[in-house]
């Protein structure tokens, strides 16, 4: 079986290797980007990723493709290879 690598790609096309640290259930309406037709009280799984320097990135959308590091407002995109 081939190895799966995950990266977050951010501003200036910078890429950081990441791994999944945790998965949490949160209300959908707390995410920055969510489905506009979702009903209140819906819980979704949100992933927390960590890079090689210990920086945490939290999922900000319901699709699981956009993340934000705790020290930044920039959105990073998940890239899987």
- The reported pLDDT for the residue numbered 33 is 62
- The reported pLDDT for the residue numbered 73 is 92
From first to last of its 81 residues, the chain has per-residue pLDDT tens of: 678 899 999 989 999 999 999 999 988 777 766 566 667 778 888 999 999 999 999 999 888 899 999 988 999 999 999
- The reported pLDDT for the residue numbered 34 is 56
**40 phi/psi in degrees, rounded to 5:** -60, 150
Token duo for residue 69: 């590091």
- The reported pLDDT for the residue numbered 21 is 96
Contacts of 24 (CB under 8 A, 6+ apart): 45, 46, 48
Domain edges within the chain: 6-80
């Amino acid at each position: 079986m081939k190895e799966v690598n995950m990266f977050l790609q951010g501003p200036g096309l910078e890429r950081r290797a990441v791994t999944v640290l945790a998965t949490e259930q949160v209300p959908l309406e707390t995410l920055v980007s969510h489905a506009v037709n979702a009903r209140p009280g819906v819980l979704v799984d949100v992933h927390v990723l960590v890079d090689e320097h210990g920086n945490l990135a939290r999922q900000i959308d319901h699709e699981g493709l956009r993340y934000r590091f705790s020290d930044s407002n920039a959105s990073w995109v998940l890239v899987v290879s």
